[in-house]
Amino acid sequence: MDPWEAIEEEIRTCRRCPLHAFRRNAVPGEGRRDAEVMFVGEAPGRVEDETGRPFVGAAGKLLTSLIEGMGLRREDVYITNIIKCRPPGNRDPEQDEIRACIPYLKRQLALIKPRVVVALGRHAARTLFEAAGLKWRSMAKDHGKPLAAELWGVKVHLYPTYHPAAALYNPRLKESLERDFENLARFLKGKRRGTLLDYL
């Protein structure tokens, strides 16, 4: 079986943690399977649980417009979450749920091998920093700064920023989020130029 089909099928039928009992649909993720940029949020919300697709509610609309603002299409990137099933009432994921679910993200990352992993929100950022053996401080201190890291054997730049859901009703956070995406676009452009120069 194709490794992507295998992962998605395992996620859709997974019972590794108690969240399987609450879901309507598990949400494996979607997008380019050789994407340069992978976006990792915290967990599916209500609309995601209903549709089985990541970031399709109001926060997803904002994320899509931020991606387009970078000159990319949503289909050019890969979008997923740390946790693939919705926690009841959108509560924070628990550590044992993260531990149970993280092997799926690890396999997705190994297949995609992105250059940049954007951690959306502090739960995703803390989990990814810890997985890379880095100390997580806070979103206020670390957002919008690309950090070279090795994540489960894949060399990436980790890029933490605010979760779009947090920015929906907070104009100050939305401004920070928009600036972080502008910086991310510049960073990607710089990296592409650097790669090209390596070949000249």
- If the CB atoms of residues 18 and 64 are measured against ligand SF4, the closer one turns out to be 18
Residue for token digits 């929906």? 168
Q: What are the CA-CA distances from residue 157 to residues 34, 71, 114, 120, 190 (Å)?
A: 16, 20, 9, 14, 13
The CA-atom distances, in angstroms, between 26 and each of 44, 61, 132, 173 are 8, 20, 26, 29
- Told to check if 27 binds ligand SF4 by CB under 6 A, we report no
Q: Which of 39, 77, 78, 84 binds ligand SF4 (CB under 6 A)?
A: 84
Residues 4-23 that bind ligand SF4 (CB under 6 A): 11, 14-17, 19-20
Least distance in angstroms from the C-beta of 13 to ligand SF4: 9
Residues 6 or more apart whose Cβ sits within 8 Å of residue 15: none
Nearer CB in complex with ligand SF4: 152/187? 152
Mark residues 86-105: x for contact with ligand SF4 by CB under 6 A, - for none: -----------x--xx----
Residue (157 or 163) nearer to ligand SF4, CB: 163
Would you call 167 exposed, middle or buried from its count of C-beta atoms within 10 A (0-12, 13-18, 19+)? buried
User: Which one among 7, 85, 128, 158 touches ligand SF4, defined by CB under 6 A?
Assistant: 85
Q: Which is nearer to ligand SF4, 24 or 137 (CB)?
A: 24
- 83 in contact with ligand SF4 (CB under 6 A): yes
- Is residue 82 at the binding interface for ligand SF4, with CB under 6 A as the rule? no
DSSP 8-state secondary structure symbol assigned to residue 75? G
- Please, what is the minimum distance in Å from the beta carbon of residue 95 to ligand SF4? 13
CB of 73 to ligand SF4, least distance (A): 27
The 8 Å CB, 24+ separation contacts for 32-36 are 32/75, 32/76, 32/77, 32/78, 32/112, 33/4, 33/78, 33/111, 33/112, 34/112, 34/113, 35/76, 35/77, 35/78, 35/112, 35/114, 36/76, 36/77, 36/114, 36/115, 36/116, 36/188
For ligand SF4, the closer of residues 46 and 155 by Cβ is 46
Q: CB-wise, 19 or 79, nearer to ligand SF4?
A: 19
Residues interacting with ligand SF4, by CB under 6 A? Answer: 11, 14-17, 19-20, 26, 83-85, 97, 100-101
